[in-house]
Chains A and B, each alone.
Chain A
Amino acid sequence: MSRKYRIVLAGNPNCGKTTIFNCLTGARQHVGNYPGVTVESKTGEFMLGEDEIELIDIPGVYSLSSSSPEEGVAFEELMKPGIDLIMNVIDSSIPQRSLYLSTQLAELHIPMLIVFNMSDEAKKKGLKFNIQKLQSYFGCSIVQTVGSRGDGIDKLKNALAESLLHLEDHDVPKLTYGADVDDAIHELEEWIEPAMTDRIRHIPARFFAIKLLEKDTCVMRLHEFHGLDAIIDAQITHLYARHAITAETFMADCRYAMISGACRDAISFTQERRREISDKIDAVVTNQWIGLPLFFAVMYLMFWFTFTCAAPMTDGIEWLFGWIQSLIERFWSPDIQPVLRSLLIDGVIHGVGGVIVFLPNILFLFLAIAFLEDTGYMARAAFVMDGIMRKFDLQGKSFVPLVLGFGCNVPAIMATRSIESERDRRTTILVLPLMSCGARLPIYALLIPAFFAVKYQAFVMFLIYAIGVAFAMLAARLLKSTLFKGDGEVYLMELPPYRVPTAKSILLHMWDRGVMYLQKAGTIILGVSVLLFIANNYPEKKTFDVDYGAQIMAVASDTALSPEEQADAFKRIERMRHAEAAEYTVSGRVGKFLEPAFKPIGFDWRVTTAAISALAAKEIFVSQLGILYAEDAESAGDGEDEQEPLRQQLRRAYTPLQGFCMMLFCLLSIPCLATLAIIRRELNSWKWMFFEAAGLFVLAYGTTFIVYQLGLLLKIGTNYLL
């Protein structure tokens, strides 16, 4: 008989819950070696024999309370009715700390299964467990696994099936916190029982009694217990007096005392070999003097890797699209369905192809980020950068999201949830779009080689990224000294031991990102490219202001011109005719209408339309220029021109100063719509989203204006450096 079960996966941050989740459900959720990778609950399903299992992965927490957004999410998820079983994953190489959460979960009296994950590392450290004893202590089964290798997953499934058979008559752990505390709990229970309403009746009164003794804000807020303040305070005062303690941490003390009691019996060290290698690496990596230079070297290496190693593959893809285009041109005569042919070549190949060319860069960037995440270096980077970040009123924890922002702003903004301080979190979210994401990379990769000599290219690329970082830091400082003024909160971050990342995990992360990029190219960018193609071509101009035909006739009949001069004249006339036609189209009209506003920052109407359409996705800036200039080339009717790469045309149309201004504007301006949507969700406010968009636009326009006008004045970049 098939049944449906709901199982919640709970555990400390970075204990490998998501790895277990992936092993069981076959999903490919992102895992990393730093605390707080899972920031919202994720649900997966799998079949266990005949039974259907719904598995819920909640954010990692140290305790079942509400001192951070993740703890809030986890707490809420566990308070929901209808949970059949809690699967508590613990990092068995640090059993004492990990079992602290288990003692709290056990008080929910929901059937539990404890997974001693990372048992290979526990073994390396020389830890030995008396599983039998621990099982009877917590009143549930314990399974040992190595999630990263998939070891023990079959055993885990068997134990799960076994546990599900005994849901009705599961053991209830009898945890004791010492006679006085237990008395206080009992007394409170008497008061709580009648106050409970239906919505929380599935949770034992004992659990609430313990939480109320701890003055847990989440539980204190429940309206059911509002009348009990005096009784709770009386119990607490009594306990404090008995134990001569003055803090809300005595429950934590009791739990650790209880665990160390259990551990003394059931856990033993066979040899003292603790974190040795990890500690040795950390002695260098987090060293007061070497740490920072090493960090900058790592960042430099990451960018070098992204741009240099991807170059040959980028060339290959460029060649491939050129080849496809020439194939279509050869076998599809311009007389058959000319509009469709032009849509395919100019809209699809130039628009989408122009974006796919940068796939290798994206893949290598994410490969580098995944490597840093999985080894555990990110947490160290946060540690060594904290001092500098604090100079800008940010903190080390803001740092990991900011680096992730180089990949994509959307997951980076979600990653800010591990920052407890709400003010720091909001500041980090608001400055994050200034971190130049992977989607802006194609813009630089197109423009830099077009306008700058090879020896300057790396420097200009670095400069663009550095400008973004500098603005982010200054903006953070500004926000923290105005809108988000106030004291910082307690800083606490765990540095996980270094782990050799599995090739599978890193490649999977890269692969997922690659697939996402291609999906984006195949959906949003394809769709917008087609729309832009239409906007760039229609309405068609039938009657022209100038009689170009007559001009051509005049040139053709002018015998005084040499054949070369004639050809040049034809080309010039053709270009003028095309320019007039282009200005008549929808993009032309919109661009022309806005051109006066963008002229002071060096944009003509084409760049203006590209900058506007880049709101859908930043890569579209490249597509739009590709489409606009592809037409130019084709309608010029010159076989050579048609093959001429976009860069050469750009070089003909703009100065390096304008090229630089385009990049600057794209870097600083309003992020893509997906990023705006996630900002709205994370800050839970439309007002902030509009504030962000308006603020960034003003920043981008102002900065580009100053740079362009200064450049014109000082004649920097108005001629070619080449």
Chain B
Amino acid sequence: MNDDKSPSRKAGASSCSVLNQGESTLAELPVGEVGVVVSMKPSLRGRKKFADVGIVPGTRLQMEAHAPFGGLLRIKVMESSLSIHRDDAANIIIRRQDRP
């Protein structure tokens, strides 16, 4: 697992230059914090699947938890709770917001 994490990390780092002020990836959002989806990186797989559950630009997300031993994140989207993988979250660009 560790082997295939490093290239995706690298991809995340190199495209950091694309990020504007105040933007970060969903994977970097700390637990409890809120963000709004700005855009998806072209490298995001299964884009349609994420769109179908409501992860589209403009959607408000909250990071709820990190799973033990790595991979999964639990995020709140449109009143429902979803688990997605960190590698995919690294391809979703968000803008941090203050908590309500």
Contacts and interface: CB of A to CB of B under 8 A. Distances in A.
Given A288-B68, A386-B72, A490-B45, A100 B83 contact: no
Contacts of B57: 253
Nearest to B1: A390
Interface in A357-395: 382-384, 386-388, 390-391
B97 interface: no
A491 B81 contact: no
B87 to A, nearest CB: 9
B48 interface: yes
B56 A62 contact: no
Nearest to B51: A252
Given A253-B57, A494-B80, A289 B49 contact: no
A490 B88 contact: yes
B65 A490 contact: no
A63 B52 contact: yes
A237 interface: no
Contacts of A491: 71-72, 83-85, 88
A492 B65 contact: no
B81 A282 contact: yes
A704 to B, nearest CB: 33
Nearest to A397: B83
B81 A492 contact: no
A492 B67 contact: no
A495 B51 contact: no
Contacts of A94: 78-80
Contact of A492 (B64, B69, B79, B84): B84
A156 B46 CA distance: 37
Contacts of B72: 383, 386-387, 396, 491
Contacts of A248: 47-48
B47 A249 contact: yes
Given A491-B85, A495-B81, A383 B53 contact: no
B53 to A, nearest CB: 6
Given A97-B78, A100-B54, A490 B64 contact: no
Contacts of B45: 489-490
A495 B1 contact: no
Contact of A247 (B47, B52, B84, B88): B47
Interface centre among B47, B49, B57, B58 (most CB of A within 10 A): B49
Contact of B56 (A253, A292, A382): A253
A428 interface: no
Interface in A243-259: 246-249, 252-253, 256
A645 to B, nearest CB: 46
B48 A288 contact: no
Given A253-B56, A383-B74, A495-B82, A291 B68 contact: yes
A396 B83 contact: yes
A256 B56 contact: yes
Contacts of B71: 386-387, 390, 491
B42 interface: yes
Nearest to A283: B65
A287 interface: yes
B48 A214 contact: yes
Contacts of B50: 249, 490, 492
Contacts of A489: 45-46
Given A387-B71, A390-B70, A249 B51 contact: yes
Contact of A288 (B65, B79, B83, B84): B65
A252 B42 CA distance: 17
Nearest to B82: A494
B1 A96 contact: no
Interface in A486-503: 487, 489-497
Nearest to A214: B48
Nearest to A379: B83
A35 to B, nearest CB: 10
A496 B76 CA distance: 11
Contacts of B54: 96-97, 100, 256
Given A252-B52, A491-B85, A494-B82, A387 B47 contact: no
A275 interface: yes
A489 B42 CA distance: 16
A479 B21 CA distance: 45
Contacts of B61: none
A494 B50 CA distance: 12
Given A97-B80, A490-B45, A490-B46, A249 B88 contact: no
B79 A97 contact: yes
A292 B67 CA distance: 9
A573 B95 CA distance: 89
Interface string A120-140: 000001000000000000000
A347 B83 CA distance: 53
Contacts of A283: 65
A718 B24 CA distance: 65
A557 B92 CA distance: 96
A718 B42 CA distance: 65
A94 B46 CA distance: 23
Contacts of A249: 40, 47-48, 50-51, 56
Contacts of B56: 249, 252-253, 256
Interface string A243-280: 00011110011001000000000000000001100110
A94 B81 CA distance: 10
Contact of A62 (B46, B53, B64): B53
A494 B84 CA distance: 9
Contacts of A125: 79
A497 B79 CA distance: 10
Nearest to A272: B100
A252 B48 contact: yes
Contact of B69 (A97, A278, A287, A388): A388
Contacts of B52: 62-63, 65, 100, 252
Contacts of A398: none
Nearest to B59: A256
Contacts of B59: 256
A719 interface: no
Contacts of A287: 65
Contact of B48 (A67, A96, A97, A286): A67
A587 interface: no
A28 to B, nearest CB: 28
10 contacts: A94-B78, A97-B80, A249-B50, A253-B51, A278-B81, A279-B64, A387-B70, A490-B50, A492-B46, A495-B83
Q: Which 6 A-B pairs have the closest CB atoms?
A: A387-B69, A490-B46, A252-B51, A249-B51, A63-B52, A495-B81
Interface of A: 62-63, 65, 67, 93-94, 96-97, 100, 125, 214, 246-249, 252-253, 256, 274-275, 278-279, 282-283, 286-289, 291-292, 382-384, 386-388, 390-391, 396, 487, 489-497
Interface of B: 1, 4, 40, 42, 45-54, 56-59, 64-72, 74, 77-85, 88
Given A97-B79, A491-B88, 16 more contacts: A63-B52, A100-B52, A100-B54, A125-B79, A247-B40, A249-B47, A252-B52, A252-B56, A286-B67, A396-B67, A489-B46, A491-B71, A492-B82, A494-B81, A494-B82, A496-B81
